[in-house]
């Protein structure tokens, strides 16, 4: 209900401004929907698949580095206990 009211208000605004051709109205509607979509994505903090894959790769590399450092730490502790 609310979205249909917004659409009607948008169309009424177009008519008031003199946007009479269907191509212009279509362009304005698509632009408006694009901004709404981007706003929703921003509020939900949605990322693209590419950004997700890059972040996944970074986390994987960090995980490997952490495991490597833990092994080094354990080996140093063992050497210190032997002394």
Domains of the chain: which residue ranges?
1-46, 48-83
Contacts (Cβ under 8 Å, ≥6 apart) of 25: 11, 14, 19
State pTM to two decimals.
Answer: 0.46
Between the ranges 15-19, 22-26, 30-34, where is the mean pLDDT highest?
30-34
User: Where in 8-69 does DSSP place strands (E)?
Assistant: none
First to last CA, the chain: 77
Report the C-alpha gap between 11 and 9 in whole angstroms: 5
Q: What is the pLDDT of residues 25-52, one digit of tens each?
A: 788 788 888 988 888 888 888 888 999 9
What's the CA gap between 5 and 13, in Å, rounded?
Answer: 12
């Amino acid at each position: 209900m609310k979205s249909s009211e917004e659409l009607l208000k948008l169309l009424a605004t177009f008519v008031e401004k003199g946007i009479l051709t269907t191509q212009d109205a279509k362009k304005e509607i698509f632009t408006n929907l694009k901004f709404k979509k981007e706003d929703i994505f921003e509020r939900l903090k949605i990322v693209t698949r590419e950004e997700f894959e890059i972040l996944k790769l970074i986390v994987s590399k960090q995980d490997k580095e952490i495991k490597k450092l833990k092994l080094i730490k354990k080996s140093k502790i063992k050497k210190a206990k032997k002394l």
